[in-house]
Amino acid sequence: MKLWEKDIPLDKLIEDFTIGQDNVLDLELAAYDVQGSKAHAEMLCKVGLLTDEEFKSLTIELENIAKEITQGNFKIESGVEDVHSQVELMLTRKLGDVGKKIHAGRSRNDQVLLDLRLYFRDRITSLETDARALAKLFIELSGTHKDVMMPGYTHMQVGMVSSFGLWFGSFGEALADDLILLQAVGKINNQNPLGSAAGYGNSFPLDRKMTTKLLEFDDLCYNSIYAQFGRGKTELLISQALASLAYTISKFAMDVTLYSNQNYNFLKLPNELTTGSSIMPHKKNPDVFELIRAKCNQLQGLPGQISMLCSSLPTGYHRDFQQLKELIFPAIKMMDDILKIMIYSLPKIKVQNNLLDDDKYDYLYSVEVVNKLVQEGIPFRDAYKQVAENIEKGTFKPDKKVNHTHEGSIGNLSSKEILNKINR
């Protein structure tokens, strides 16, 4: 069954090609299709397009379908194009013509848009919850290790004194910014497209504000044309939020992979976070963080894929949009998996103490010595030159006392302020 079928024989090869993965991916949307259909039916009853009895019978059958979905028994049958067709087919089998009436006042286009926005709303909320938990975990570790010093690098060369507290905290604050973007995308998504039909509205006296309230949207997506080309744009915005999260987490995964290397030896990974080699008995490979890095780098390419898929399309619906689900659904699942494995793995990482006792890190303190001379009254350029000459002569002696007090420095991590950002 297809909602557009007109008793014209279908070419099986064309049918399979045009359905693509919809009959699989649409199972993710089943509960949302029922939720949207219940709200639509209630609105149709209110405006006189369904009788009270018809609305009641439709509601009962929709709730029965919802139970099947919850119990894992819902299936899109062979020959049925998508979840929307399957739900309407089940209603029609039970209720006859009453089941057919539910499509009045909507197109499959705005039905898809509605299901997707409800689906995205739940997924964004879930990602936000996990991203906030991960951010707080970084800040907690920042406090735990605030006094444990480590080298800071620029250009992959030893640069200045840093600390594990400063390092962990940087990812907590980065995730705070990622959360702002994720929330903004969630707000844009949470607007009701139902009633825009195929993109040009319709002549039924629909009450779109009623369905907006029933479905707990923040507002309407008012312009019916924009509601339609919001498809693609919504996915693009979500992909950008995913890419931002991925950027942050990828950098951490790379650091862990590097810092757990024997030549750095800043971090120790427990056995459960590593794998071995088939021929090298000493190996403990950081596969978890290598895969996190790979998946995050993959997600950072997603906005380009979605942009290329949609950017050349004119106003209106196009079947090209079908491919969006094949890109965005797995990407959301991938980020969900990444956040959960990060939350699991992060507390298991062990930091190494007393790293800076090694003489090879003496030059980390050169800036500290320059700054001390400046505080004694020597102009900065003269102090810089003096220390540089001592380094060249091999006479440099570090003063390993570090006194950083400004906001966001080793001695003042501003963890409380960053937590306020995360909680906002």
| H-only helix segments in 145-163 | none
On the question of pLDDT at 11 being above 80, the answer is no
More confident residue, 283 or 303: 303
CATH number at 119-195+225-356: 1.20.200.10
Contact between residue 152 and residue 402 where contact means Cβ atoms under 8 Å apart: no
- Alpha-carbon distance of 378 to 424, in angstroms, equals 44
Residue-wise pLDDT for 245-262, tens only, equals 999 999 999 999 999 999
Q: Quick one: average pLDDT of 125-151?
A: 97
Average pLDDT of the chain to the nearest whole number: 93
More confident residue, 4 or 151: 151
What local confidence, expressed as pLDDT, does residue 4 receive? Answer: 45
Among 6-10, 303-307, 330-334, 389-393, the minimum mean pLDDT is found in: 6-10
Percent of the chain whose pLDDT exceeds 70? 95
Residue-wise pLDDT for 38-70, tens only, equals 999 999 999 999 999 999 999 999 999 999 999
- DSSP secondary structure string for all residues of 202-262: -SS---HHHHHHHTT-SEE---HHHHHHHHHHHHHHHHHHHHHHHHHHHHHHHHHHHHTST
Q: How many residues can be counted in the chain?
A: 424
What local confidence, expressed as pLDDT, does residue 12 receive? Answer: 65
On the question of pLDDT at 304 being above 50, the answer is yes
What local confidence, expressed as pLDDT, does residue 281 receive? Answer: 82
The residues annotated with a catalytic role in the active site are: 155, 277
What local confidence, expressed as pLDDT, does residue 194 receive? Answer: 97
Query: What interhelical angle do 302-310 and 224-259 show, nearest 10?
Result: 160
What is the distance, to the nearest Å, from the Cα of residue 84 to the centroid of all Cα atoms in its chain? 26
From the list 96, 108, 94, 98, the residue with the least C-alpha distance to 29 is: 108
Q: Quick one: average pLDDT of 257-270?
A: 94
Query: Which band of pLDDT confidence, cut at 50, 70 and 90, is reported for residue 14?
Result: low
Beta bridge partners of 391: none
| Residue 388 to residues 77, 158, 359, 395, Cα–Cα distance (Å) | 76, 15, 17, 10
Domain 12-101, CATH number (from 3.30.565.10, 3.40.190.290, 3.40.250.10, 1.10.275.10): 1.10.275.10
- DSSP secondary structure string for all residues of 162-191: EEHHHHHHHHHHHHHHHHHHHHHHHHHH-E
Question: Which stretch, 6-10, 228-232, 303-307, has highest mean pLDDT?
Answer: 303-307
Query: Which band of pLDDT confidence, cut at 50, 70 and 90, is reported for residue 385?
Result: very high
On the question of pLDDT at 23 being above 80, the answer is no
DSSP state letter for 357: G
What local confidence, expressed as pLDDT, does residue 222 receive? Answer: 96
What local confidence, expressed as pLDDT, does residue 403 receive? Answer: 87
Structure tokens at 84: 């929307």
Q: Quick one: average pLDDT of 111-135?
A: 98
Q: Quick one: average pLDDT of 385-391?
A: 95
Residue-wise pLDDT for 355-377, tens only, equals 999 999 999 999 999 999 999 99
Write down the domain spans for the chain.
12-101, 119-195+225-356, 357-414
3-class secondary-structure state, position 110: helix
